[in-house]
Amino acid sequence: MSADQADVDAIVSSLELELIDRNLYRGHPPYWENVRLFGGLVAAQAVAAAYGTIEDIHIHSIHSYFLRPGDPEIPVIYDVDRIRDGRSFATRRVVARQRGEAIFNLSASFHKVEDGYDHSIEMPDVLGPDEAPTAADFGLTERDYLPRNWQLNGIPVQMRHLAGPDIAPGTTERQSWFRINGSVPDDPITQRALLTYLSDFSLLGTAVRVHEPGFENIMAASLDHAIWFHREFCADEWLLYSTTSPSASGARGFNLGHFFTADGELVASTAQEGLMRIRR
């Protein structure tokens, strides 16, 4: 097994939460988490916890808040509130806690599959994943694209930033190809949790890079995060993450994103506001 596949397997295993009691789950981070938990991981595990109380119906949207930094040295407890079970929709609230304090709060809505009208925006006209520059083309390694101090070995996520890592200040849009860097189960629960994991990469950076080439002069943190799932997808196949930052003010940056398959189908949309405090 390659190091990359071992890391991918670790991500998938981290989504298999331990059932402590009815509506109560324990999650463990993959072995590389360091300094503080990656927000996308906590959100993905919260999605998995919500799914633990659901049968035969799938998540269509989440709205969440990052409340405190997560400690990678201890497990996270996920407390699920079964708010509503209807004929077509179900609603869950998930609170993630460490040391008795909430670090993350998520509301999730589930909807049974129905037929209806269908339309979507077009994918931006960009280079495909096979033509897009690799990290090596910019004199970097794949690990340089990952959060600082995140891990030392392996890469569970593969990225190809179409404009490179240092977009010129003033650019409010960014496009990057993403995929889980190995084979994963094709069940909808795992796929949605993994896209939740991917969705926290690069989004806040869109607002930051309007003003700065990197994060050196900025104290940054995700504050809230929302996802709408539109269509089925495979997280281990290339997805274009097209992001834009409509506004930044009051030390906060607002960002929107859309995930497209390589053949141009819109599969999910995201929104996030993050802290962008200038270091003094």
Question: Would 169 be classed as within a structural domain?
Answer: yes
Question: Would 118 be classed as within a structural domain?
Answer: no
Distance CA 174, CA 76 (A): 33
Model pLDDT, residue 17: 97
pTM greater than the 0.85 cutoff: yes
Model pLDDT, residue 219: 86
How much of the chain, in percent, has pLDDT values that exceed 90? 69
Question: Would 273 be classed as within a structural domain?
Answer: yes
DSSP-derived letter for residue 37 is: -
Is the separation of the CB atoms in 115 and 76 below 8 Å?
no
More confident residue, 172 or 252: 252
Is the separation of the CB atoms in 279 and 217 below 8 Å?
yes
Is the separation of the CB atoms in 274 and 253 below 8 Å?
yes
Q: What is the DSSP string of 232-269?
A: ---TTS-EEEEEEEEEEETTEEEEEEEEEETTS-EEEE
Two tokens at 204? 């806040």
DSSP-derived letter for residue 68 is: S
C-alpha separations of 136 from 46, 105, 144, 272 in Å: 34, 38, 10, 29
Question: Would 122 be classed as within a structural domain?
Answer: no
Question: Would 9 be classed as within a structural domain?
Answer: yes
Q: What share of the chain is helix, strand, coil (3-state, %, to 5)?
A: 20, 40, 40
Question: Would 161 be classed as within a structural domain?
Answer: yes
> What digits encode the pLDDT tens for the residues 92-127?
999 999 999 999 999 999 999 999 999 999 999 999
| Domain count for the chain | 1
Which residues span the domain enclosing 16? 3-113+127-278
Model pLDDT, residue 231: 96
Question: Would 121 be classed as within a structural domain?
Answer: no
The pLDDT of residue 133 is above 70: yes
Question: Band of the pLDDT at 148, cuts 50, 70, 90?
Answer: low
Active-site residue set: 200, 222, 272
Helix axis angle, 188-199 to 3-14, nearest 10°: 100
> What digits encode the pLDDT tens for the residues 180-227?
989 999 999 999 999 999 999 888 888 988 888 777 778 888 999 999
Two tokens at 26? 């324990």
The pLDDT of residue 260 is above 90: yes
Looking at residue 244, which CATH number applies to its domain? 2.40.160.210
Question: Would 78 be classed as within a structural domain?
Answer: yes
Average pLDDT for residues 61-78, to the nearest whole number?
A: 96
Average pLDDT for residues 32-55, to the nearest whole number?
A: 92
Q: How many residues does the chain have?
A: 280
